[in-house]
Chain A
Amino acid sequence: MTGTKSALVLCMDVGFSMSNSAPGEEPPFELAKKVIQKFVQRQVFAETKDELALILFGTDSTKNSLDQDGQYQNITVHRHLMIADFELLEEIENQIHPESQQADWLDAIVVCMDLLQTETKGKKYNRLNIVLLSDLNTEASSEHVDVIIENLKKADVTLQFFLPFPAGDDDEEGRGDADKGGLSHPGMGKGLSREQKSNLDMVKHVMLNLDEEDGLDQIYTFRNAIEQLCMFKCIERRPMAWPCQLTIGSSLSIRIVGYKSVTEEKLKKAWITVDAQTNLKEDVKRETVYCLEDDNETEVQTDDTIQGFRYGSDIVPFSKVDQDQMKYKHDGKCFAVLGFTKQNMVHRHQFMGSQVIKIFAPKDDEHAGVALSALIRALDELKMLAIVRYAYDRRSNPQVGAAFPCIKQDYECLMYIQLPFMEDLRQFPFPSLENNKKLIPSETQLSAVDSLIDSMMLVEENEDGKQKDMFKVHKIPNPAFQRHFQCLHHRAVNPGTPLPAIEEWLKAAIERPEVISERCQAPLEEMKKKFPLTEVEKKKKLKTSAQIFGKDSEEPDAKKAKGDEEEDDFNLANIAEGSVTSVGSVDPARDFRTLIKRKSLPFGDVCQQLTHRIEQLLGNKNTPYYMKSITCIQAFREQSVKLGNADLYNSYLQSLKKSISNRGLEVFWDLLVQDAISLISKDEVEESTVSKNEAHQFLLAEEKKEEATVPTAEDTGDVDDLVSIELFLFL
């Protein structure tokens, strides 16, 4: 083992020439800083074990171990070799500024090598690398250059240069506009200075000496690097080898190794919940309790529960032990051929599962290689595939799947993809589109579609007959990850500021290519004319809680209403006989009213008890509990108005609203909206900070957001309900 991590020294020029730039251009310093930031960000989020050091040269001060007798001046070791972290990112953001000195870049390389040598001692690395970012606008002494090259070779250190300008005129960017001298690159000003020219020659000399063939490929421009680093793959995973045997019948087996080659990558880390005040996760505890479905919601110890399963309407107690004993068991790891079938019998849209496995022969076994190759080629020539039973190991469920032959220029393999079980399929019939006369498109309509498709082809043939795909999805980094890390980086480095907008390059990367957008303008206009599309106005179904709750049963609904009406005279008797001491779960709204009436507890406390119950009820996510919650909120509102204290109620309702989508309580919210239970406005309680209009908007806002496409017709029902509630409140 030579170690799995690499050591890398970032060596950045911060000398005074780095901040020179032509008007309107970003100075090389800023570009170099961006390169470093992007690079370090990538290291931090990828959580690589690679170690990084940062050396600055051209600094006003000097801090390095070679500093002696006026040698190696203005070079600062900013950070020693260690894993990249946010501290480093913050330092780059806040502590690295252009400085006013100059230093020899070859000296800087020597300092880097020295650091690598001392700090990697006794540890294993698979790569040592120095990255130098500079505009090369300093004088450098070339005396020792060959010694340096020798030492680099000896220590097996690789070198990369990042410059503001391209390395040669045959460079891809320089091509075609050689006469301009690469003026398009910032930091170039009016062409290269004498120093830059001689330094560039020296850089080339070094690079070609280190690697005769590809040395110059390791010289990049800042601009290029930034683009490349933006597009980085956030999650790079080494696939695990899965050794197994492909079997055909009882006596033919071939040793194979499988690798997951395509699968939907997820972010490695999940969000943890922390207390909003302290930001500590230890302050938050989640607890799950079990309770019986009775009026008292009697709690039951976890130990007193057993597991069961539903078999239709029956619930069958089925202990874990029994389940394990009786469950389907198999022999474990397996890749067994059930038979072979024509490739066209397996439909692409019936692929199941979430991955593609590539199957090779083991590296060290050429006989297996030949045997597998025979199978792959036989299948390919016959246009067939193998249907196999696949089981990852003894604990995982076996699958049925297809093994396709795949022959590439430099390798061949089988590709395994899961296929459906009978239980997975849902055969939905859909009405025919072609037999319905009303739907059959006319010839002119078809030709409009025809030219639209022609104008929007993403794959084109070049002059040299090669196909060019201008929208390769599998080359686009997952925008969700990019955005995620952009926001995390921002929050980590600039705490307390709002999250930034989506980066422009990312937006552009997932948009229709500009060429296509332009080309399809006219055909799209034609389409618009040829195909009339009219949105069907739909009456938004009025769903009041009462309707949902008791469509088929007027009875409880009526009772509820009655209870509400009787609100004012129900109390005395109840208070007299009831021994209500807290807001219980059976009828929290009644308890709440009673406790408020009795004034034995402070209003705030009673409200807290009530909201506690509401939260409990909402935890159940179903209609009857929603209904109960609504009666609680109604009671809360009504009592708050009575006592002229709107704050507790309003802030609770606001926080509730915020949590709706998180908790999947949209249905409940709809009920609240339909019942027009909004904030308490100024008109009702003077102290309230909410205007009547705001109270009304409060309910509408969420609706609009939710169904942006549906024009929200003002629900007259809302207003009516609101009025009636107000009326009854002021009785």
Chain B
Amino acid sequence: MAEWNAYYRGEDEEEEQEEGEQSGGDYKITGRDSLVFLVDASKEMFIKGEDGEPSNFDMTMQVVRSVYTSKIISSHRDLMALVFYGTEQSKNPRNSFKHVYVYHDLDEPGAKRVQEVDSLRGGKGAQLAADTMGSGETSLGDALWCCANLYSDIKLRLSHKRLMIFTCRDEPHGGDSTKDRQARTKASDLKETGVVIDLMHLKKPGGFDVSLFFCDIISPPEDESELGLQLEACDKLEDLRKRVRAKEQKKRAQARLNLCLGEGINVAVGIYSTAVSARKPPPIRLYRETNEPVRSKTRTFHTQTGSLLLPSELKKAQMYGKKQIVMEKDEVDAIKKFEDPGLFLIGFKPMEKLKLHHHIRPAVFLYPEEEEVKGSACLFSALLMKCSEKNVFAVCRCVPRRNYSPRFVALVPQREQVDEGKLQITPPGFNVIYLPYADDVRTVDAPRCPTASQMQVDKMKEIVSKLRFKYRSDAFENPVIQQHYRNLEALALDMTAPEDIEDLIMPKVDQIDYRLGPLVQDFKDLVYPVGYNPENKSAAKRKTADTGGGAEKKPKVELPEDELRAHVQNGTLGKLTVPVLKDACKQFGVRTTGTKKQELIDALIARLAS
């Protein structure tokens, strides 16, 4: 058995990561996603555009780099490879293929790889590429074969395999039919093993003709109606980046459910998260001596006997009104369960009944799952069309997973939209908006305030109009996450200082001031009396709050024991403030892990009630 362990060491960490938890995914054992960039390194790729536009090769490297870095942030477990074909030099695992250069083997991208791709960018990069790889003969068949080997050499389970070909040559073999045939055979071999082949064709003088050769190489589109490939070649970096991004992420349903319209009418749907708050990943604990990661083991044991406690030897409890209420673990789960997972249609409401402020979590997206229930897509599509036409949304009761209690959601229809380049802007389906319960809506006492006069409003309108801009949801990077990764990058690459980030959510104060000019003063004159300073007032307030808020400065209030006991007796501990409770805990040697008031109270009761 020892070999068994040795064999697997190093690749067995968190095969199932918390991703499922975060995005609520339900896939059990998923493998890793993989992506191979197969890049043409022929001379044509290095030709610079007019007006100093970057060469196709340069553009491709920029995209590869941005995919690398974004993968590091979003899904570092995905495997990526970078392979060049049409090179002079060869470098591949068994060196059995000529003119194929495996620059990066299939592996998780890391700091070093980012640097290495960086070095291939720009004029210097082109020089480096020429020096190390050169441009030579082309055999796409060999290149594909080599990629197939990369896949088969991987010992991990791969769930999604994608290969992207970047080229500006629509006839890579210049009409050599043998080579063409060989490439087609290899491509179909790859496709048979589940690899999806995409073409990212780049600009070519006279236009790129996909039908000449590549139409037989690439995978058929998911959707029969669409041609699946972009007929227009990419000539802009932004387009290429978008195109790659759209393909690069494998969409996964976080749940597959039935949308039940009524008895016996179940439409299979998948729920997708289209926006999930990206967070800084949790730190990993390392052994100080070797910097190797350590594993944490949590065990539960009996304080008195020291024996390990099995789950069956534990129960759950809550304290309320001086009483401990105990339940079995499965009872705790059973309480949460109302019904089996699914979406159950309650009815429809006109769109204006969906209140803007009824927001409790990010929406998810609903799309039919024809593979589960045949006919789903048709019914779903009809429902979507009619809801959209009648301007209504559906109200459903939703149980997303087992032992989840129900919530209500609004299914808001969204028709498909495409841009000029036929690229989908919004996909067809329902946006699922979570609705608040009565408990989730708080009563806020609105202060009564005077309203502004039309003149004041008009002045503000001028200000608003001066500061108009077109909002795009992908315009703002998260400075916290960006800074974190820059820091890591700097440490990983031994840079002296991290690259500066631009904080995009910082107001551009100078520009705003410049644009507004005298408008600000005009407005202030209209609404504020002379001598009124909004900053001063609150600044003064803050000061008093600061001095008053310092808990340390307050004299310690020690509570006599009998008084405390009286509070425990009468259940009035809640009257005391947190600092007093904390002191009391210290006084009686109660060790508390929590700082919440209730936890302190519970701890004190536990100690003093006995």
Contact A624 B12 (CB under 8 A): yes
A379 in contact with B464 given A389-B505, A430-B367 (CB within 8 Å): yes
Closest partner residue, chain A, to B424 (CB atom): A429
B281 CB to closest chain A CB, in angstroms? 6
Select one of B277, B323, B345 contacting A352, CB under 8 A.
B277
Contact with A along B513-551 (1 / 0, CB 8 A): 100100011011011110010110110010000000000
Contact: A382 with B348, CB < 8 Å?
A: no
Inter-chain contact A255/B538, CB cutoff 8 Å: yes
Neighbour of B300 across the interface among A238, A285, A400, CB < 8 A? A285
Which A637-668 residues sit within 8 Å CB-CB of chain B?
A: 652, 655, 658-659, 661-663, 666-667
- With a cutoff of 8 Å between Cβ atoms, the chain A residues found around residue B277 in the complex are 352-353, 424
Q: B406 and A373: CB pair below 8 A?
A: no
Proximity string of chain A (312-353) to chain B, C-beta cutoff 8 Å, 1 when within and 0 when not? 111111100001001110000000111111100111111111
Contacts of A253 in B (CB 8 A): 534-535
Residue pair A271, B275 in contact (C-beta under 8 Å): no
Known: A427-B246, A491-B327. A274 touches B385 (CB 8 A): no
Flag if B474 contacts A425 (CB, 8 Å).
yes
5 contacts between A and B (CB under 8 A): A285-B300, A288-B297, A434-B385, A553-B155, A623-B15
Contact A425-B361, Cβ < 8 Å, known A318-B283, A524-B262: no
Say yes or no: A434 contacts B347, CB within 8 Å: no
Interfacial residues of chain A within 433-477, with CB under 8 A of chain B in the complex = 433-441, 445-446, 448-450, 452-453, 456-459, 469, 471, 473-477
Chain B 286-313, CB within 8 Å of chain A: the 1/0 string?
A: 1111011111111111111000111111
Known: A287-B301, A309-B281, A327-B487. A422 touches B296 (CB 8 A): no
Q: How far is it, in angstroms, between the C-alpha of A311 and the C-alpha of B353 when the chains are bound?
A: 46
A345 and B5 contact, Cβ closer than 8 Å, known pairs A292-B287, A422-B476: no
Cβ of B47 within 8 Å of any chain A Cβ, yes or no, is no
Q: A265 near B440 (CB under 8 angstroms)? A: yes
- Please tell me if A683 contacts chain B, counting CB pairs below 8 Å: no
1/0 contact trace for B424-435 toward A, CB 8 Å? Answer: 100111010101
Could you tell me the distance between the alpha carbons of A434 and B380 in the complex, rounded to whole angstroms? 11
The answer to whether A369 touches B347 (Cβ under 8 A) is no
Chain A residues lying within 8 Å of B267, measured Cβ to Cβ, are: 533
Asked if A269 and B319 make an inter-chain contact with CB atoms under 8 angstroms apart, the answer reads yes
Could you tell me if B275 and A420 are in contact, using CB atoms closer than 8 angstroms?
yes
In the complex, what's the smallest C-beta–C-beta distance from B174 to chain A, in angstroms? 34
Q: Which residues of A contact B348 (CB under 8 A)?
A: 453, 456-458
Q: Mark A299-317 against chain B: 1 for CB-CB distance below 8 A, else 0.
A: 0100011111111111111
A368 interfacial contact with B, CB 8 Å: yes
Q: B131 on the interface (CB 8 Å rule)?
A: no
Q: Which of A243, A248, A281, A284 contacts B309 (CB 8 A)?
A: A284
Q: B509 touching A250 by the CB < 8 A rule?
A: yes
Indicate if the CB atoms of B5 and A586 lie closer than 8 Å.
Answer: yes
Please name 12 further chain A to chain B contacts, defined as beta carbons within 8 Å, in addition to the given A82-B570, A338-B505, sorted by A numbering.
A49-B572, A271-B332, A292-B294, A349-B433, A373-B451, A397-B480, A430-B424, A434-B428, A473-B437, A499-B334, A524-B261, A622-B15
Neighbour of A480 across the interface among B13, B246, B336, B353, CB < 8 A: B336
Question: CB within 8 Å of B: which of A142-200?
Answer: none
A55 at the interface (CB under 8 A from B): no
Q: Is the interface of B mostly helix, strand, loop or mixed?
A: mixed
User: Which chain A residues numbered 363 to 377 have a C-beta less than 8 Å away from chain B?
Assistant: 363, 365-375, 377
Given the contacts A378-B464, A663-B311, A315 and B483 also touching, CB distance less than 8 Å: no
**A109 interface residue per 8 A CB criterion:** no
Question: Which single residue of chain A is at the shortest CB-CB distance from B478?
Answer: A421
Asked if B19 CB lies within 8 Å of chain A CBs, one says no
A446:B333 contact, CB within 8 angstroms: no
Residues facing A in B485-503 (CB within 8 A) are: 485, 487-489, 491-492, 498, 501, 503
CB-based contact A87/B322 at 8 Å: yes
B257 closest partner in A (C-beta): A709
- Is residue B484 within 8 Å, beta carbon to beta carbon, of the partner chain? yes
Asked if A535 CB lies within 8 Å of chain B CBs, one says yes
| Interface: A508 (CB within 8 A) | no
Q: A579 within 8 Å of B by Cβ?
A: no
The list of the 9 closest CB pairs from A to B, nearest first, reads A431-B223, A369-B449, A85-B321, A411-B446, A480-B405, A659-B311, A430-B427, A428-B251, A441-B382
- Contact of B38 with A by CB under 8 A: no
A499, B335: Cβ atoms closer than 8 Å: yes
Evaluate contact between A491 and B492: CB separation under 8 angstroms.
no
| Distance in angstroms between the alpha carbons of A352 and B433 in the assembled complex | 11
A714 interface hit (Cβ, 8 Å): no
Q: Cα distance A669–B506 when bound, in Å? A: 51
Residue contact B303 to A586, C-beta cutoff 8 Å: no
Give chain B residues whose Cβ lies under 8 Å from the Cβ of A72: none
> Which of B53-61, B189-197, B202-210, B455-463 is found at the contact surface with chain A?
B455-463
- Tell me the bound Cα distance from A377 to B458 in angstroms: 9
How far apart are the CA atoms of A404 and B575 in the complex, in Å? 39
A312-B109, A624-B12 are contacts. A339–B488 as well, Cβ < 8 Å? no
Set of chain B residues within 8 Å of A315, measured between Cβ atoms: 284, 286, 291, 293
Cα-based distance from A439 to B226 in the complex (angstroms): 13
Chain A residue numbers with a CB within 8 Å of B384 are 433
Give complex CA distance A276, B309 in Å: 10
Which residues of chain A from 247 to 261 have any CB-CB distance to chain B below 8 Å in the complex?
A: 247-255, 257, 259-261
Please measure, in the bound complex, the distance between the C-alpha atom of A623 and the C-alpha atom of B327, giving whole angstroms: 32
Instruction: Determine if A394 is an interface residue (Cβ-Cβ < 8 Å).
Output: no
Q: Are B335 and A487 in contact (CB-based, < 8 A)?
A: yes
Q: Taking chain A's interface residues, is the majority helix, strand, or loop, or is none over half, making it mixed?
A: mixed
* With contact pairs A262-B442, A400-B476, A425-B473 given, residues A457 and B347 touching in the complex (Cβ less than 8 Å): yes
State in angstroms the CA–CA spacing of A276 and B382 once bound together.
54
B441 sits at the interface (CB 8 A): yes
Query: In the complex, A111→B190 CA distance in Å?
Result: 90
A439:B318 contact, CB within 8 angstroms: no
Inter-chain contact B276/A616, CB cutoff 8 Å: no
B331 within 8 A of A: yes
Q: Is A283 an interface residue (CB 8 A)?
A: yes
Q: Is the CB of A587 within 8 A of B1?
A: yes
Interchain CB contact under 8 A, A667 and B16: yes
- With a cutoff of 8 Å between Cβ atoms, the chain B residues found around residue A354 in the complex are 360-361
Residue in A closest to B71 when the chains form the complex, CB atoms: A312
Knowing A271-B332, A274-B314, A327-B483, say if A83 contacts B571 (CB, 8 Å): yes
Q: For B336, give the chain A residue with the smallest CB separation.
A: A480
B468 A459 Cβ-Cβ under 8 A: no
Question: Which B residues are CB-close (under 8 A) to A286?
Answer: 298-300
> Within 8 Å of chain B (Cβ to Cβ): is A590?
yes
Does B444 lie at the interface of the complex (its beta carbon under 8 Å from any beta carbon of A)? yes
CB distance from A499 to the nearest CB of B (A): 6
A304 → chain B closest CB, angstroms: 5
Q: B368: which A residues are within 8 A, CB to CB?
A: 433
Question: Which residues of A are found within 8 Å of B380, using beta-carbon distances?
Answer: 433
Q: Is the CB of A450 within 8 A of B318?
A: no
User: Chain B contacts of A624 at CB under 8 A?
Assistant: 4-5, 8, 12
Assess the B314–A264 pair: CB atoms within 8 A: no
Using A328-B484, A440-B381 as known contacts, say yes or no to A271 and B316 having CB atoms under 8 A apart: yes
Contacting residues, chain B, for A446 (C-beta < 8 A): 382, 385-386
Q: Which listed residue (B1, B288, B333, B381) contacts A662, Cβ 8 A?
A: B333
- Which one, A20-28, A556-564, A688-696, is touching chain B? A556-564
In the bound complex, residues from chain B placing their C-beta under 8 Å from that of A340 are: 464-465, 467-469
A368-B534 in contact given A262-B357, A349-B412, A389-B506 (Cβ < 8 Å): yes
B87 on interface, CB distance cutoff 8 Å: no
Q: CB of A612 within 8 A of chain B?
A: yes
| Chain A residues whose C-beta falls within 8 Å of the C-beta of B456 in the assembled complex | 370-371, 373-374
Contact B378 A83 (CB under 8 A): no
Contact yes or no, B523 A252, CB < 8 A: yes
Q: Knowing A237-B442, A312-B109, A367-B532 touch, does A659 contact B312 (C-beta < 8 A)?
A: yes
B50 at the interface (CB under 8 A from A): no
Say yes or no for B110: interface residue by CB 8 A criterion. yes
A71 part of interface (Cβ distance < 8 Å): no
